[in-house]
Structure 1
Amino acid sequence: MRSATELLRELNSVDESPGIEAKRASAAGKSVLETVIAFANEPALGGGYLLLGVERAGPGQAYHAVGVTDPDKLQSDLASQCASQRNQPLRPRMRVESIDGRAVLVVFVAEVALGDKPVYLRATGLPRGAFRRIGSTDQRCTDDDLWALRRIDEPQPGFDAKVVEDCSLDELDPDAVAEYRRLRRLVNPQAEELGYSDDDLLEALLAARRVGGVLKPTVAGVLLFGRPLTLRRLFPTAEVSYVRVVGTEWVADPERRFAATLDVRKGALLAFRQIAAAIEDDLPRGFYLPPGAMQSLQEPLVPRQAFREALANAIIHRSYRFNQPTMVVRYSDRIEFINTGCSLKPVAELGRTGPAQRNPVLAAVFRDVEIAEAKGSGIRTIRRVCEAHGCPAPEFESRREAGTFVTVLRLPVIEAVIAPMPAHVPEPGDYPDQSHQPEPDSHQLPPDLLAQLPKPGTRPSRARIRELIILLCRQTPLSAAELARLLGRREQKPFVRDYLTPMVREALLTYVIPDQASHPAQRYAASHLQPAATIAAEAEQSVLRPE
């Protein structure tokens, strides 16, 4: 057992830590009891020390002894409460010592055995009566935490390997199984499991297990390969939603909060493919010339590997016990990936290898097809890729009270990636008759698209003009002046007002320079998304359509 002087020296060297807590407490109050429980519960911590009768005057100042008024009574009260107020008795080791002539109490709480976890306050019950030691803080347990306390070295399968009794293999989607085979073949054409039958493959992946000789899907099997109707029946919120928000705040404009949304309820691999494509299609692009190349390439401003890894993490590490979909929210300046289930380890330890996996079967399949990185390296990959591309550092937040985990990828400043601007860029209205506007690069457009452009003297319908705008902007981002000239519109301002601005609001077009609609270098790119109402109707039809 360490001495009070040694503990105080460490506190003043590195501050409070997972294994040491300093408190002024002169009584065995609520805060002391919560720390005792947290030390007893936290996996692999080995217990921790409480140093009572010590405080510091303010942030950054040294800890010093203030003493406890009645150390004998404090020991007695703490021992009594540890024995009677918890679901099982705890026996902390305690010793009174003197620092600078003041009595302090050193308390060591040992970590309890795996089979005895969780320790909790009987009067409060589970899960809120149990606590974990997260960094230098005591945190109330969630349902996931209770599972994690018993997860270390647990021999039985986790939640995603449990058999779903009310389900049969007929409710799995052959297309989802075929998608696994396709992806696995790309990684390793000689993989042994590619020669298995579907039933044997599912069993090998732990997507199905035998119960009384009958092969039944597991939770992971349903999540990976379930038909849409199966997922709706068994896991109503096991979907991935991509939401396009106007501006930088969730409720910046309550009347026009969402530009568009895309809800995907499919097997996890199919859902990943569709949402990843939606993210990439909706991102602004930068241009670069690879070494030795003769032609420039367009790449998303957020590195492809970073957002794909963030999406994979959100799908495979979410808790499927909670009724909330996985969300990807695209603001004008960032993308947020939100999944239920807070981190099973402190945020400071993210990126380090460790045993904390919420859905090991799901994660193993994603690693098989190289969508997700190896254990513990996904966060490191996101950080490394963002740094290599000169992007803002990713942000990770575990929101324990809300029971969610959030990854934030911020878009770099657009001026940092576009080509140098000329001394003067024509402003809208500089050429009111369009006769002196620079020629758009129409020679780069496909001949069949050029043939569809309006002929002089014709007046296409409004719907046809909108359709042509999308077709043109799918080829390459274009300015308002270029679009107006290609479509034979003499007046640029009415064209922007009547077509381009409404189409941005409907998420049919996106600004290449977000949040600066009138930027002189502004261009428009086509978005694959449709208005939320249209997508919702189509999604409902697809769900109701027979398999």
Structure 2
Amino acid sequence: MESIKDILEHLNITDECTTIEAKKGSSIDTSIMETICAFSNEPGLGGGLIVLGVVKDETSLFQNYYIEGITNPDKLQLDIASQTATLFNQPVRPDIEIEKLANGKLILKMFVKELPDGQKPLYFKKKGLPQGAYRRIGSSDQRCTEDDLFIFYNKEDSLDSTIVNDTNIDDISEEAISLYKSLRAKVNEYAEELGYNDFDLLRSLGCIKKDKDEWKLTYTGLLVFGKRQALRRLLPMVRIDYIRVPGNEWVEDPENRFTTIDMRGPLIELVQRTFSAIADDLPKGFLLGDDKLQADTIGLPSKVLREALVNAFIHRTYRENQPIQIIRYGNRIEIKNPGFSLKPEEQLGEPGSKNRNPFIASIFHETNLAETKGSGIRTMRNLMEKSSLAPPTFESDHTANLFTTRLLLHHFLNESDLQWLDAFSKFDLNTEQKKGLIFIREAGAIDNSTYRQLNACDVLKASNELRSLRDKGLIEQKGKGRSTYYISSVILNTEPNPLNTEPNPLNTEPDQLNTEPQSLTQELPSEIREQIEKLGVRENDPNKIKNVIYELCKHKSYSVKQIALILNRNENYVYRNYIIPMKEEGKLQHTIIDMPNHPDQAYKSV
């Protein structure tokens, strides 16, 4: 195992640490057991190290871990052995080592190995699956969802092969089938399935299955070939929302409202419709044939836009009854689809693909609507680089079950950018740091993950270069740990912008949140106050507490801390047991959509 000196150096340099977890270690509590579970389950991580006796200084503005030490090593080791042997569905045996420092302080280091595929997932016996299992996402332990179980159980049927009740062959669109045949013939005019009749074709593609004596549509059949009436009736929220936002920031200004185009229909038709709607709106012209999805352009490459859309269609989760949102800002396009990435962010663009919807993906591949073998993201990056545009950036949010693709629309490090960067020549910036500053100017903020994607570097290099920009006063650090991100500083904002666009920083003076329990309660309507009083301190019915939280956030947006104060409960307990489940159920949503980990994040009822 690494020495405690190397571990501390790693923790203090990086803004997030996937393979190391530092704990105070006064006792073996639930959070330590959840981390053991997450390290055991996370695919491809190889396990992780838990260090007890190391504490994070929460009062420090910057990342600062120090050694406090442990006083009861024998009891801690006994508790670890006991709990890892009894709490889970199978026993776990971590490697434990006690390190004694020169000053006499003791540190407990525990390495947890990743379990073999056949033994996953590890989960708490009392909670069962999926909520009793955890994964290691970034530097946090995340409760598993049904989509996570699909990763562990590769032989399990996927959702897109499942029968949809209340459907029959009449719900199939003949126009969609004709379009499929047309696209398939262009790829291979001798394809065997082109000789099938419509019924046999649908069977071969996994679009229909027999249920007792009736033929019914699967999710693949309904989504790819279903009539609009059937889609509206059975999946009312599975649609595309194309949103045009004035300026470069998401605002909910009633005087300057965004415009929205809602699109619904079979996926094989929806690709072209969505592509055309966005392409027509871009500042650079496209030459698009009637039967083509690719076009010549001097702006955003059409293949990049198409690939980003197709990725959203075939990789989103259809377990969530939510639309795909495509937000067109003045300087970028953001595509938000339900469903975190099944591949870790650092592996995006590498060969190989993990498909959440294998039958839908197969249809898109056979018609040449999608790249094969997981090469789509790599292709997007190469094309953006050839066009002198910023590489696409991706954000996978496991907690919100959301995947975001961002495409900047202006040429990167062009003459105007270089002219703007000349004002900072005295800071001796490298090319990667210049790219980071341009991205902050355009998108408003940057984090370690985005910096890595922009510059194809590792966590350590990204952390060092972002800290260097911060120490030079060019950017400001917000949040801590995994929630760390950076915004433009006063220096960056006061320099002239040759593009004549307004700088887009997030508010550096966050609103002062009301955190006085008495005043928070007094501002509530009498009906809600009565509901809270009826709960009492020992209320055990989670649905009653969820209903109160829903009514609270319907009345006004509140942070987790405020909700916990109003309910007189522990903040972490409220977040883990109520806020996260209510977000997953679609009952709550963030008020700051573009930055889920924003320190001023609050929640409102859906």
Partner residue, 1:221: 221
Question: Deviations along 1:475-507, whole A, 9 cap, x unmatched?
Answer: xxxxxxxxxxxxxxxxxxxxxxxxxxxxxxxxx
More divergent stretch after superposition (20-29 vs 59-68): 59-68
The answer as to whether partners of 1:286 and 1:417 remain within 8 angstroms in 2 is no
- In structure 2, the residue matched to 1:133 is 136
User: Is the Cα–Cα contact under 8 Å of residues 135 and 346 in structure 1 kept in the other structure?
Assistant: no
Choose the corresponding residue for 1:357, options 355, 358, 362. Answer: 355
Contact 2:150 2:156 in 1 (8 A): no
Question: Which residues of structure 2 form unaligned runs of 5+?
Answer: 288-294, 417-498, 503-606
Aligned to 1:274: 273
Report how far residue 31 of structure 1 moved. 3.3
Cα deviation code 1:238-278 (max 9, x no counterpart): 2112222222233253233123x322221101011111011
> How far 1:339 moved relative to its partner?
0.5
**2:170 paired residue number:** 170
TM-score by length of 2: 0.60
- Matched with 2:429 is none
Which region of structure 1 is more displaced relative to structure 2, 314-323 or 117-126?
A: 117-126
* Aligned twin of 1:73: 75
Instruction: State the structure with bigger RCO (CA 8 A, min sep 6), 1 or 2.
Output: 1
Q: Indicate the residue corresponding to 1:329 in structure 2.
A: 327
Please name the residue that 2:388 is paired with: 390
Where 1:139 maps in the other structure, the secondary structure is strand
2:276 partner letter: A
What letter matches 1:394 in structure 2? P
Q: Which moved more, 1:138-147 or 1:175-184?
A: 138-147
Which residue does the alignment assign to 2:603? none
Report the secondary structure of 2:255's partner residue: helix
Cα deviation 1:386-412 (Å, max 9, x = unaligned): 111111222211122322111111110
Decide which moves more: 191-200 or 9-18: 9-18
- Aligned-partner Cα distance in 2 for 1:63–1:310: 40
Question: Once the 2 structures are TM-superposed, how far is the Cα of residue 36 of structure 1 from its aligned partner?
Answer: 0.5
**Aligned pair 1:299/2:297, yes or no?**
yes
Residue 110 of structure 2 aligns with an amino acid whose one-letter code is V
The aligned amino acid for 2:248 is T
What's the CA shift for 1:138?
2.3
What is the Cα deviation at residue 59 of structure 1?
Answer: 10
The one-letter code sitting in structure 1 at the alignment partner of 2:222 is: V
Cα distance in 1 for residues equivalent to 2:30 and 2:212: 50
Tell whether the 8 Å contact from 1:8 to 1:63 is kept in structure 2 after alignment: no
Residue matched to 2:47: 47
351, 354, 366: which is aligned to 1:368?
Answer: 366
- Mapping 1:491-502, distance limit 5 Å: none
Match of 1:94 among 93, 96, 107: 96
In 2, Cα distance between the equivalents of 1:412 and 1:138? Answer: 37
Selected match of 2:410 from 409, 412, 415: 412
Alignment correspondent of 1:284: 283
Corresponding residue number in structure 2 for 1:508: none
Query: Aligned AA for 1:76?
Result: L
For residues 199 and 187 of structure 1, the distance between their equivalents in structure 2, rounded to whole angstroms, comes to: 22
Structure 1 position 358, deviation (Å)? 1.0
Contact 2:388–2:412 (CA under 8 A) maintained in structure 1:
no
Q: CA RMSD in A?
A: 3.5
Unaligned runs of 5+ in 1: 289-296, 419-512, 517-547
Tell me how far apart the structure 1 counterparts of residues 208 and 286 of structure 2 sit (CA, whole Å).
Answer: 46
- What is residue 149 of structure 2 aligned with on the other side? 146
Q: Contact between 2:208 and 2:215, CA under 8 Å: does it hold in 1?
A: yes
Letter in 1 for 2:304: A
Contact 1:332 1:514 in 2 (8 A): no
Q: Contact conserved, 2:8 with 2:66, CA < 8 A, in 1?
A: no
Residue 51 of structure 2 aligns to a residue in which SS? strand
User: Any conservation in 2 of the 1:241–1:326 contact (CA below 8 Å)?
Assistant: yes
1:190-213 C-alpha deviation (Å, 9 max, x unpaired): 222212221222222222234557
SS at match of 1:412: coil
Output the CA distance in 2 between the equivalents of 1:11 and 1:415: 37
CA shift in 2, pair 1:254/1:127, >3 Å: farther
Equivalent AA in structure 1 for residue 176 of structure 2: A
Change (3 A) 1:90 1:129: same
Matched, 1:105 2:108: yes
- Further displaced range: 192-201 or 316-325: 192-201
Aligned equivalents of 2:500 and 2:243: distance in 1?
A: 16
For residue 250 of structure 2, give the secondary structure of its aligned residue in structure 1. Answer: coil
Q: Which residue of 1 aligns with 2:399?
A: 401
Question: Is residue 65–residue 99 contact of structure 1 (8 Å, CA) maintained in 2?
Answer: no
Deviations 1:362-399 (A, max 9, x none): 11111111111113222112211111111122221112
Task: For 1:354 and 1:213, locate their aligned partners in 2 and report how far apart those are by CA, in whole Å.
Answer: 39
Distance 1:298 1:47, change over 3 A: closer
Query: Are the aligned partners of 2:337 and 2:402 in contact in 1 as well (CA < 8 Å)?
Result: yes
**Is the CA contact 2:279–2:286 (under 8 Å) kept in the aligned structure 1?**
no
Tell me the CA shift for residue 129 of structure 1. 4.4
Q: Give the counterpart letter for 2:374 in structure 1.
A: G
Cα separation, 2, equivalents of 1:279 and 1:4: 51
Note if contact 1:22-1:52 (Cα within 8 Å) is conserved in structure 2: yes
- CA offsets per residue over residues 312-367 of structure 1, 9 Å max, x none? 11111111111211121112211111111112232222112345321111111111
> Offset of 1:125 from its aligned partner?
6.2
Q: Which amino acid aligns with 1:365?
A: I
CA distance in 2, matches of 1:249, 1:233: 34
Does the CA contact (< 8 Å) of 1:4 and 1:99 recur in 2? Answer: no
- Tell me what 1:36 maps to: 36
Asked whether 1:317 is paired with 2:320, we answer: no
Q: Distance in 1 between matches of 2:385 and 2:261?
A: 30
Whole-angstrom distance in 1 between the partners of 2:61 and 2:145: 30
Q: What residue is the counterpart of 2:239 in the other structure?
A: 239
Q: 1:514 to 1:140 in 2, by over 3 A?
A: farther
CA contact 2:206–2:218 (8 Å) conserved in 1 = yes
Moved more, 168-177 or 41-50: 41-50
Q: State the structure with more CA Rg.
A: 1
- Counterparts of 2:5 and 2:344, CA distance in 1: 24
Q: Is the 8 A contact 1:283 1:300 kept in 2?
A: no
Range with bigger deviation, 263-272 or 353-362: 353-362
CA distances 1:167-218 after superposition (whole Å, capped 9, x unpaired): 2222111111111111111222222221222122222222223455764322
> Contact 2:142/2:399 (CA < 8 Å) preserved in 1?
no
**Are residues 184 and 93 of structure 1, via their aligned partners in 2, closer, same or farther at CA, if it must alter by over 3 Å?**
same
Between 1:113-122 and 1:190-199, the stretch displaced more is 113-122
Instruction: Find the aligned partners of 2:323 and 2:331 in 1 and give their Cα distance.
Output: 23
